[in-house]
Structure 1
Amino acid sequence: MPTLNKIFDKCGVALYQNESLDHYYQEPYQDEGDEIKVIGEPFETDKSKKIRKYDLYVEDRTFSNFLFFMDGSRRTYKIGDIVIEGKKIYPVVVAQIRAGCTERGSEKKLHSHQAIQRKNLLLLSDKVNTVDFKEIQQRITRTKVAQEMFLEVVEYRFEPEKHNILVNAAIAKANTMMHDMEIEILSNMVKSGVLDTDRMLVVDGPLQFLRQDTGKTEFADLFYNVIGVSKSFNPMLPTSSKSKRGGTQIGAELLKLEYGERTPVFLKENDRGRRFGVWYLRIRPKNKVSNPLEGIIKIEKMVLEDYYDSGIPTDVVDTISLSLLNEGSPTCYGRDERWASHLYPVYLTETLIKSTFESDLVFINNFKRDFR
């Protein structure tokens, strides 16, 4: 039976198959690698440095400016190792990646806004020489098994300054391709004009994937009606230039937040010079969570150039924050260990997307089939 090993053998690369599921790898914070820019005042029009509090007994608790919710998900598996030039070993990783968006209709029920995008990947180190890689890629992708799976063979690159182990480099590549799928969905929504100030989109996680955009200002302006919400975040981010020398970290400030309170807006810049407003909001009472940092979400909004100096209008920040407080009810308590920081429509979107994954056993067994 021509297994995957034999295809590699024909290309002069030794593959030793073994299996390991991705839940053995610790998930990083959603804002891993993030950095808040140190500034002297809040990055919003109200320059008060005090915690902002909302009166939850007065505000309309049914109001929300959000109608769309987008998420991406992946499952990765190490299926073996290859030996290159008889000297070094590199992992071979396969992945299922998915991305999708839901819309809340007039009946208040969520439904899929577009078809869920799906890809299956086989990831090889870029240390495989170009000729061998292309031959492996061609031999695999023209087999019946690969065509049935819609399998793509792609390269990953290990960068020591970014990845502590080789497998994480492959997972990062899968994540990048997942974000590309999110960008495609988002671009289609922007082009079709479905987004507006009262029909905004929540992206699960930070807006880090926008770093991959084309750099066109007119394109960036269209992301005004999109925010990113992170359930997990790095509590050790500094809040001032003194933090790296023993000053205050953001986690210490967040412990002060009570239910319905938010921080002032911080400034974040990406490597393209784009500016983002970042703030934190407590959406659960402290006496309802088991950890003092549970029930807090991190919110990120791209800033138009008109507000690069003054920051985001505070009334916009307040409207977004109140909408997100309202999206916190009902909860997915008992269905997800992250329930305290999970917005219910995002949870439903994530559940829908994950329902399209093949089971781990079925997916892994595909790579033991007859590759002809």
Structure 2
Amino acid sequence: MRTSLATALTLALSLGSVALAQTKPNRYTTTGIEVPVTPEMTGAGAVSSGVTLPKPPPVTGSRAKPVAHWGKPLPYPIVIADRRNNRLIEVTPDKRIVWEFASPNLKVYRGNEDVNFSADGLQLAVSEEDNFDIHLVDYENKAITWTYGIPDHRGSGPNLLNYPDDAHLLADGKVITADIRNCRILVIDPKTQEIATQFGTTGKCEHKPPQLLAHPNGATPMENGDLLFTEISGSWISRVTREGVVKWSVRAPNVRYPSDAFPTVDGKQIIVADFSKPGRVVIFDPATGKATWEYFVKEGEGMLDHSSIARELPHTGDILVVDDLNDRVIVIDRQTRQIIWQYGEKNKKGHTPGLLNYPDGVDLDVFRDWKAAAK
């Protein structure tokens, strides 16, 4: 028999893993549509690498003033959303596991597919598409501190989502998420559990931002507070202010299925992964709509299989890519277009050190000096 939501939350609280008391409780005003849980959605279950983890160093850096970098091939440690292992895992450039958040309860936390640090580096915003919820996770205490959405229930009413992709904790304390199948992007206030701002019209899926959105799967905050929307249908990328003013809207060139566009380090261009097979990474200039750099390999070891995230790395200019269905995260040299760093083995699923199971999201830990801590 399937565990009820109330039972699952009670169990999670008893384990001390879901600190819902720290925020206003979710108001389950509607139940939505219950979705059957398949073995694929459960993945490997609640697993851990088994590594003895060191104590994290304190936060001494920020995105504006990051800690000392490691240089090539990977300048900073990365937190990976290891989706089908139902965990977050932090890996250093020398491939040590230094931090891990394993699922405290598969009903409440399962299938984490995107992860992004808060501006202060203390929290992680996590989205779970096929668990229909988003979370905030306290990095130091390894605890879920807030949730929006009802696990295993899809819908569009209060506290309901339908395939939420991407989540960020904004500088003002609100959380943004792209609610794909409801064709909307939501800015939610965790203090009230209310939707503060909605872009797009629920259930109307076409491209006319900000009133209408065509299956958005990315809502990335930019340095000045603007938002970068990614829409699957039509491969549209748009820059929109918090007030809903569209600064530009262009199609990503040579991309069939855009996934979570990001600005380049200088903020002038856009980098986006193509969630296809073979996958692709494109950097383009929104002023012209033309590609300025591209990675595309049709076969062999370098071929991407449904790449979901691409980021330009600071200091090196190389490209960090989550290669989902190849079970790896890689760094591609900007000049040679060769893979120069890899965590995970292509087509080998696992949860022990060196292995991943459908990784789907990544962010850089520029906040903690793990390099100095290792010494």
Length-normalised TM-score, structure 1 = 0.29
- Higher relative contact order (Cα pairs below 8 Å, separated by 6+ residues): 1
Q: Going by fraction, where is strand more abundant, 1 or 2? A: 2
| Greater C-alpha radius of gyration | 1
Length-normalised TM-score, structure 2 = 0.28
